[in-house]
Structure 1
């Protein structure tokens, strides 16, 4: 799996809406360029185009003017489903609780140029606040509508609650509170349809408040084993944002993505579009090797499995591609200076491990 260009996905959905309104891509882009769109004045926009958050605002403003649909940002946000987030979306689906998913959303939002969220903690409750600094009043409203409607779409997938035909007071999401800084818009009825929560306008911040009861709800697709792998994929993708030229980072991502059936070096080379010899040479130039990098990933996942799950050592060995558990035990002892059981029981010294394989 790869990191997803979420902003480009939003752009594609905008194009679809504009097509239905009889607006061409050229018309949309030309209007957005006049507002300040910064992706370059060539109409050949591709899936590698990097739209900024402000670019999306210019596109939304242009689209609203051309279509006359004042609720366009909310409609687009509702179309952004969890699959739109790629690897990150799968990571969200494997979280144990809503709280875990929100923290993951905040930690790895750079992967997909996600919404400008800020977490505010209040005892066991959480507030997600949208940062609209420097935006006009119209852009603030569109940003808030886009962000909150996306969040509502994700939430429907994660908690699986049906809001209709439930007894009052039995749905934890009814305790959620959403506030907006702007006055009630003409399409306020759409807010009620999308957000089954208490809604207030003309407030100090654009934010959503989650009570502990909601945050502690389980995610219906939770999977602690897949969560470990997907979380590591997110970490590697985030690291790659700052190390895009390093072959080691690219190899690590591919190995984590193939966890359970690790790619061989030739397969990694094919994925990268270079020869196996080039992979070896470039890894050597970065003072590492394919075998060492594979051991790093195996050790990284092994530690997570040992501390975050109740899998027995034999099962962990199998997940990491070892046919014999004894071989895994020897490898883990070599990497960390202690056995898997000792590590699981907390008998490790973090300062010592810093000098080991990872």
Structure 2
């Protein structure tokens, strides 16, 4: 691995993140051998990952406690194809991405998203674009595809929707109009998910199977968004099985999944649209709230239930639920969530789409 630094002078602040990228490279072969998952070739898995496009580790240092000490800047580690072993790494300092700035962005974004405040949401996305993604994208060569590996509170921000300037006229556009942005907790999980996707059978030319399993339960608080989304999504699939409103009980869904997967284990898109709650203390108790089957029943479809019954081959899981991808506010690097549970179930990819995403969609479509 060849390492370049875009900073001058002492680069000791960037040591941990460079080592993080190096550790990924050294440890992946043993990890793949232990799990039995094989990469797409005999080369180093990290080299295989960057052969499909660059990766970008993003890290911020926590703000100084009680205002004592400097508010240190964060940085990016860009990993792309190059060098004798197929991997080249560049450290890029991001002076405006301080610990206090990241915390402020997260707090402001959460408040704006839940209040439906488009103007404040746009302001936060502009600041994130200026401080983070505008410096990163030119150094990455404005790729058509980029995988982000953020840590800490950065994982709670919609970096893919940052407002960036690329053209000479200075016009700002949402980053999703310029590139396909994906997220991954580690290169190991990214490589494993790509291997799963490549191994699935009965997938159509556009990359998704024809089979759809949809579950939706809504109340007045989310009815408008969920009902329309659920019905529109199901119409795009030839082979579809849906459970909505009264039919969306945990027992009915579990029984159908067991029966369906035993009779026909073909790959599927799984779509769950409902309220959800993440339990960071007991992750397996995280759940979707569905229709209670009987009086006194809470109607909870728990992550432990899904892990028990299994879901077969999942090309894509779409989780349209609040908190479906929320990491812990106290320790965001411990990313235990409903989304990570679906990766554990064997999904090749997860799309998280909560109430704040609907605010984000309106902002993105207006820029």
Alignment TM-score, normalising by the size of structure 2: 0.22
Instruction: Indicate the structure with greater strand content.
Output: 2
TM-score (norm 1): 0.23
Which structure's CA Rg is the greater one? Answer: 1
